[in-house]
Amino acid sequence: MSNIGGREPALEKNYDDWTEYFDILGEPPYRADQICGWLWKRGVFDVNLMTDFSKKLREKMSETVDFSFPEISGHVKSNDGTKKFLVKMSGGTAVETALLRMGPRLTACVSVQSGCPVGCPFCVTGTVGFERNLTAGEIAGQFIVMERTAGRVINNAVFMGMGEPFLNTEATLGAVKMLNSPKMRGLGIRHITISTAGIIPGIQALAASGLGAGLAVSLHAATDELRSELVPVNSKYPLRDLMSALRGYQRVTGDRITIEYALFKGRNDSLENARELARLLHGLHSYVNLIPGNENGGGYERSSPESVLRFQSVLKSAGFESEIRTARGGEINAACGQLKNPAGGRSRNKT
């Protein structure tokens, strides 16, 4: 996000940045608590509404800080309560995000890039091309604008929207810190999950960060030949190296890893595929999320319910915890692999 008229973007400032900013202005440290409360807890980005600042201070802030905020320019809602939003950043870049309702709890699925360079053939996001990485503030700001629009607390954040988080690692981890900081949004770290296609340097960076956010890995196959077809980054980060990185991550963090496995008819859903997966994951403390694949074209069809159950039974017999994910948002193209940035930022409103 570029500075506008020489002003620094408010969205990119963390608590320490605000403390330093107000110190330069000769203001007391508690001003940083006040501004972070307005921005990150109340979702208010209009400085004129921040009435606990004097008029003179508000004018100074307006002159030196850009209070632009991501805007929701359209949304659709599915019968299961899932909402998909078109979110526009201050520079005009548009991304899609999703808000998932699971009982009384809400989960925000945020995007880390506009488009995606990974190019998984069953994923719509990869077909729209790659525009740019989002900044830390733009990523975390999606959560805040969805929460403000929902009018209620969002309980979880999953970095599973558009893009690959660990091809934008610095901004991704920065966004996690913003959402987690008690001085900012204050979302518990165990309520934040980052999903990767298997970018090893990013996995290592997450482990080294000590943040404690959850890690999910989109595996989708247990042999290099098949995985390279389904997840092209496997050619750079093959399974042997990836599994070594995951075990290293687990030695550092002690955390269980979620394995995401999308099932496609006749591609990766056979009993032998399941046995291969069980062998690959042996010794890794993991939880396997089985996802009936979404049909986005390209010859990839969703596995039948019977095939999914048979696949799961193999994993359970091998001692793995496994769950079949309930499809949400498919009717509005808000499910896994269906988010994109529409040409010209077009969307429609439907409540």
Which residues are tagged catalytic? 96, 336
Cβ neighbors of 176 (< 8 A, separation 6 or more) are 159, 189, 192, 194, 211, 213
Pairing of strands 257-263, 156-159: unpaired
Please choose, from the candidates 211, 68, 40, 215, the residue with its C-alpha nearest in 3D space to the C-alpha of residue 140.
40
Q: What is the DSSP secondary structure assignment for residue 4, as one 8-state letter?
A: B
Q: E strands, the chain, where?
A: 8-9, 65-66, 71-77, 83-88, 94-102, 105-109, 113-115, 130-133, 156-159, 192-196, 214-218, 257-263, 286-292, 321-324
Alpha helix (H) residue ranges in 105-261: 124-127, 136-150, 169-180, 200-209, 224-230, 239-253
Measured in residues, the chain has a length of: 351
